Amino acid sequence: MAHALHIVVCAGIAPDPLQTLEPVSGPNGPGLKNEMVLPAVLDPWAACALYEAARLAASVAGSKVWLVSLGPKAKLQQVMMTVGQKAAFDFVPIDGPIGGFGDAHSTAAALADAIAALPGLDREHLLLFGGWESATRGAGVTLQLIGERLGITDQFQGVDQITLRDDGSFEVLERVEGGRHQVSVCAGTPAVLGWATGNLPEPRNNPQIGMQNMRAMMPALQKAKPATLQPNGLRYVSVSLPKQQRETRIEKNMSADEIACELVDWIGAE
């Protein structure tokens, strides 16, 4: 029988994608126009990781799930009012800036410190979950950096499925090119899994789970530690919306190399 798991899900919040997002430059660097009044959602990739974590924890007796998220407390509270009804977890908020312009190294440092300080966390049986991608800033390295700071060397990215075995090992399906999956077997925890979309639908709202979560969420939000993300020399010269442009040309018998070269030339001319 598999040992009880301690699953930590790192999940950011993002502006609702149905809103019009306009980048602006401010005194603290680039950001989004009226960012604090835009409705927010849990990052879609991280949400898949949370649902998979809840399913996995329910299948192994004694397992526990933490959700660690960095963002303004007001936004975190708004998002958790909905997410808290989807799955059972302990919420660990970090009061910090939102947006897609934060440095991945500073973000990883803040999240890793919060995870290391979790009371009762068994790092020998830890599974660190998060999104393979991000709806805010697809740096693709934040989760990896957190794992490295915590000393976790077994890492898998683009995960769609994890299957536990009786001896404590587990099988992982990772996305690779050509619409295929790479099958890997890990001897056991700890491990980092960056999730793609997984196989689970979004759970229905469960008011009972929501009430159970909210009893601990509100005190946790009040005690959220502030975090200041250092730019680490990161500087943006300008930010702007991408131009809408469509040029259609029909070509026959062009090789992949010729297409790639033409695309590179076109991008370089912008």
Residue 209 has pLDDT above 60, yes or no: yes
Bigger pLDDT: 30 or 162?
162
Sketch the domain layout of the chain as residue ranges: 6-226
What pLDDT, in 10s, does the model give residues 83-95? 889 899 999 999 8
What pLDDT, in 10s, does the model give residues 180-192? 889 999 998 899 9
What pLDDT, in 10s, does the model give residues 83-140? 889 899 999 999 887 766 677 888 888 999 999 999 989 999 999 999 888 877 666 7
Mean pLDDT computed over 135-151: 83
Could you give the percent of the chain with pLDDT greater than 90? 30
User: What is the C-alpha separation between 126 and 121, in angstroms, rounded?
Assistant: 8
The answer to which of 157-166, 187-196, 228-237 has the lowest mean pLDDT is: 228-237
Residue positions counted in the chain: 270
Provide the 3-class DSSP secondary structure of residue 34.
coil
Q: Say which CATH topology domain 6-226 has.
A: Rossmann fold (3.40.50)
- Buried/exposed code over 219-246 (b: 16+ C-beta within 10 A; e: otherwise): ebbeebeebebeeeeeeeeeeeeeeeee
Mean pLDDT computed over 233-260: 76
The whole-number pLDDT of residue 128 equals 95
Reported pTM:
0.81
Residue 1 has pLDDT above 50, yes or no: no
User: What is the C-alpha separation between 119 and 254, in angstroms, rounded?
Assistant: 59
Token couple for 174: 């990772």
- The phi, psi pair for 106, rounded to 5°, reads -65, -40
The whole-number pLDDT of residue 238 equals 67
